[in-house]
Amino acid sequence: MSRKKVESSIEGIIPYSGEGSTITIEGGAVCTQLGCAYTGDEAVAYAAKQSNVDVVAAYPITPQTIIVERFSEYVADGEVSTKYLPVESEHSAMSACVGASIGGARVFTSTASQGLALMHEVLYLASGLRCPIVMAVVNRALSAPINIHGDHSDMMGSRDCGWIQLYAENAQEAYDLTIQSFKIAEDKNVQLPITVNLDGFFISHSTESMKSLADEDINKFLPSRTPIYKLDHDSPISIGGMALPEYYYEFKRQQEEAINSAKPVVKNVGNEFGEMTGRKYGFFEAYEMNDADVAIISLGSTSGTVRSVAKKLRANGEKVGAIKLWMYRPFPTEELFSIIKDLKVLAVMDRAISFGAPYGALCSDISSILQNRDSEVKVLNMIYGLGGRDIPTTTIQQVFEESLHTAKTGEVKQRIKFLDVRE
């Protein structure tokens, strides 16, 4: 693949800023002075490359394939010192990541949908053995019926696997969060695996303008991994032994302690990243929440749509706000409560069904934190966008309108609603 600088002026396709404008190729992306054009997948692959990963083990699955294709090109062109294992299944991909991680390596992988489901038991192994693996999950619906498009059924199906779970809104966030993830996962107080979730196709295959960082800046932000424990002959240890009823529970309790210890680390790393780039991260982004009566909380790419509708309604004088949750696990219980406690209505967007449960997964979490604190906030659960069904601004507007109606009248028409579905 060509990485050469090419003089070009493709007007109308790429932002062109006058004579002498130079288009360069950076990590496979086309760049001008205004930024680089990346798909979400390319952005993640480039972030993994710049994070100096020692081992990658992965298996291809749509819509994650661009990540592994790009990374394979970096390896084939000698641009990285990474060992790349093109394994024979996702089960083996995660298993090889565990092996590499306990060997002391910085490890990256990515998957989607059925691939994540096939990894399921290994996900618990990775967190139980405290392996700081970073995995991009390109969210996709689960079979049956087979569907390759974006929803959150895959990650929600593995939400209790003990991994830190972050969600990106766009290519920029996918890139930024991937870099931060290594620093969070490898922190001495955390030592846990982490997923960066990006919506299949909506983010993975959409080309956006994005700002990447210089290698030197990333090297400074993210030094090589220093493992606390590793499998080596200098000090032989046994990892993964059997813990019977007199010990197992203590291991699990410590694991719960570890994932909660990730909270200050996520915050600090997000701040440090913000100082370096001007793009600050944390548990969530609150938009116009100070005096809001109603708000929508969402994960991933939908958050941008929600924010744009909220902006429009604000211009019309409606007191609406929006919350984009970056960190789903560990759940930012107290912090989230503090910004939603004075709302009249909170609409919770779930892009997955928790079959037979009272609510979708995100709404269940939010309802539980409100109920425990005798809150008056009324919660409306909106299930939407399964199998990649589009979520237009008009639908988000309806959600806001319904929430405003409930705020005004106190009437809750439906606690759980399935948006834009033929019934």
Partner 1 sequence: MVILKNLSTEELYAPGHRLCAGCGPSISIRMALKAARGPIAVVNATGCVEVSTTIFPYTAWRIPWVHALFENQAAVASGLEAAYQSLEEQGKRKGKVDVIAVGGDGGTFDIGIQAISGMLERGHDIVYLCYDNEAYMNTGIQRSGATPRGAATTTSPAGKVIPGKRGMKKDFIGICAAHGISYAATASIGFFSDYIDKMKKAIEVDGPAVVHVIAPCPLGWRSNPTETVKLAKMAVQTGMFPIYEVKDGIYKMSLKPGKLLPIEKYFELQRRFRHLLKPENKNELEEIKREIENNYRRILKLAGEQAA
Q: How far is the CB of 411 from partner 1 (least distance, A)?
A: 52
CA distance 407 to 402: 9
Q: How many CA atoms does the CB half-sphere of 149 hold within 13 Å?
A: 9
Q: How far is the CB of 100 from partner 1 (least distance, A)?
A: 4
CA distance 317 to 292: 11
CA distance 138 to 158: 14
List the interface residues with partner 1, window 125-144 (CB under 8 A): 125, 129
For residue 145, cis peptide bond before it (omega within 30 degrees of 0) = yes
CB atoms within 10 A of CB 274: 14
- Is 33 a residue that touches partner 1 (CB under 8 A)? no
Residue 343 CA to chain centroid, in angstroms? 26
Q: How many CA atoms does the CB half-sphere of 196 hold within 13 Å?
A: 38
Q: How far is the CB of 53 from partner 1 (least distance, A)?
A: 9
Q: How far is the CB of 233 from partner 1 (least distance, A)?
A: 4
Which is nearest to 64 in space by CA: 4, 5, 108?
108
The torsion defined by the Cα of 86, 87, 92 and 97, in degrees rounded to 10, comes to -20
How many residues touch partner 1 under the rule CB under 8 A: the total is: 44
Q: How far is the CB of 226 from partner 1 (least distance, A)?
A: 10
Please identify which residue in 236, 245, 278, 356 interacts with partner 1, judged by CB under 8 A.
236
Is the dihedral angle over the CA atoms 312, 176, 108, 164 positive or is it negative? negative
- Is 241 a residue that touches partner 1 (CB under 8 A)? yes
Query: Which stretch in 70-78, 87-95, 144-152, 308-316 sits in contact with partner 1 by CB under 8 A?
Result: 87-95
- Is 369 a residue that touches partner 1 (CB under 8 A)? no
Q: How far is the CB of 85 from partner 1 (least distance, A)?
A: 6
Please identify which residue in 17, 22, 33, 89 interacts with partner 1, judged by CB under 8 A.
89
| Bridge partners, residue 382, by sequence | 349, 417
Please identify which residue in 104, 157, 274, 387 interacts with partner 1, judged by CB under 8 A.
104
- Is 31 a residue that touches partner 1 (CB under 8 A)? no
Q: Closest CB to partner 1 among 123 and 155?
A: 123
Q: Closest CB to partner 1 among 191 and 395?
A: 191
Give per-residue burial for 178-187: e unless 16+ CB within 10 Å, then b. bbbbbbbbbb
Q: How far is the CB of 50 from partner 1 (least distance, A)?
A: 16
Please identify which residue in 37, 45, 47, 105 interacts with partner 1, judged by CB under 8 A.
105
Query: Which stretch in 14-22, 144-152, 178-186, 243-251 sits in contact with partner 1 by CB under 8 A?
Result: 243-251
CA distance 299 to 363: 12
- Is 238 a residue that touches partner 1 (CB under 8 A)? yes
Summarize as ranges the residues that interact with partner 1 (CB under 8 A): 54-55, 57, 81-83, 85-89, 91-93, 95-105, 107, 121-122, 125, 129, 224, 231-233, 236-244, 247
